[in-house]
Amino acid sequence: SGKISQSKLAQALYYRGLAYRKQNRPAQAISDFTSALWIKDGLDAEQRSNALLNRAAAYRDAGLNEQAEADEKRVAATRQPRAKANAETAAASTAAESPSPASSGSGLTGFFNALFGGASSNPPQSAASAPSSRSGEAAGAPRAATQQTSAWSSTWGENTVVRKAGKGGGNSVPATTASTSKAAAQGSYVIQVAAVRTKQEAQAVAKRLRQLGGSFGAREPGIEEAVMGNMGTLYRVSLGPFASSGEVEKVCPQLRQAGLDCHIISR
């Protein structure tokens, strides 16, 4: 059995996130969109924008408007220069070609069956029926949120098995070690900062977190290994725990400014 490419894995997570949105499961949708965005070179520029917009809509569904606004601002910041460049190109061109819609034929169904083991709980048809061109729907008006942050789940789908990354090897980054500090952090909130394909990438993200220093107090980054069925292994980098969502909100801007993510999980 050959390994799945970075691009296919990211697109599979993206389309499964769309399916979760249609099923009104925002926590799972946010997790999949976040994972897809953090796979290096997995999505092209337009897919990244669509994933951010759909994640923003899922945040609103979960009642997390501040995170939704942050994602929408990121998309606006990248799309404005692109729109200007496209307008200039169109003005200089005698005939502008309209882009072809992305193919969503029956082959996508087989692709999802192979990736997710044919699980009936996550029908691939739902994902295929929501192509990336529906990014406009993602920026729609927020719905009344009935779910609380505490209802969130950190699972990545029913076939996911999560365990601490092994400690073998001199370069491995230890799991959260806040308990060794004089004033160990406590709380029920954790920030998922990244989900990457290799342990080396996870270690690099953890190193960046340590370099940011200061505002994290006694907290150390932790690395978890997640085995996702036929899709193989991903490594999640997290930071915490935090005592309250307000405490998390103070840290998120610093993480985003450093180019990292801030996916809040209540445990």
Summarised one tens digit per residue, pLDDT across range 235-246 is: 888 888 888 878
Instruction: Indicate whether 141 pLDDT > 80.
Output: no
Instruction: Indicate whether 31 pLDDT > 70.
Output: yes
Q: What is the dihedral of CA 14, 16, 18, 19, to 10 degrees?
A: 170
Work out the number of other CB atoms within 10 angstroms of the CB of residue 182.
5
User: What tokens appear for 110 in the block?
Assistant: 């087989």
Higher pLDDT, 189 or 230: 189
Q: d(Cα 168, Cα 23) in Å, to the nearest integer?
A: 40
Opening angle at CA 32, ends 30 and 34, nearest 5: 65
Residue ranges of the chain assigned to CATH 3.30.70.1070: 159-267
Looking up tokens 């496209």 gives 86
Closest C-alpha to 247, from 232, 225, 258, 262: 262
User: What tokens appear for 40 in the block?
Assistant: 């290096």
Closest C-alpha to 140, from 68, 70, 76: 68
User: What tokens appear for 48 in the block?
Assistant: 């990244």
Instruction: Indicate whether 35 pLDDT > 90.
Output: no
Higher pLDDT, 76 or 84: 76
Instruction: Indicate whether 101 pLDDT > 50.
Output: no
pLDDT above 70 covers what percent of the chain?
Answer: 54
Closest C-alpha to 40, from 223, 246, 196: 196
Q: What is the mean pLDDT of residues 189-204?
A: 83
Judged by average pLDDT, the poorest of 84-88, 109-113, 169-173 is: 169-173
| pTM of structure | 0.39
User: Which pLDDT score, from 0 to 100, does residue 84 have?
Assistant: 56
Q: d(Cα 193, Cα 98) in Å, to the nearest integer?
A: 37
What is the chain's length?
267
- pLDDT tens readout for residues 156-165: 444 444 445 5
Q: d(Cα 157, Cα 20) in Å, to the nearest integer?
A: 10
Which class would CATH give 159-267? Answer: alpha beta
Confidence of residue 196 (pLDDT cuts 50, 70, 90): confident
Q: Are 234 and 165 in contact (CB under 8 A)?
A: no
Beta pairing, strands 160-164 & 222-228: antiparallel
Concatenated DSSP letters for 206-245?
Answer: HHHHHHH-GGGTT---EEEEEEEGGG-EEEEEEEEEES-H
Work out the number of other CB atoms within 10 angstroms of the CB of residue 230.
14
Q: d(Cα 104, Cα 108) in Å, to the nearest integer?
A: 6
Instruction: Indicate whether 18 pLDDT > 90.
Output: yes
Q: d(Cα 192, Cα 211) in Å, to the nearest integer?
A: 17
Q: What residues form DSSP beta bridges with 133?
A: none
Tell me 266's DSSP state: E
Q: What residues form DSSP beta bridges with 158?
A: none
User: What tokens appear for 138 in the block?
Assistant: 């993602």
Confidence of residue 170 (pLDDT cuts 50, 70, 90): very low
User: Which pLDDT score, from 0 to 100, does residue 165 have?
Assistant: 52
User: What tokens appear for 187 in the block?
Assistant: 């709380």
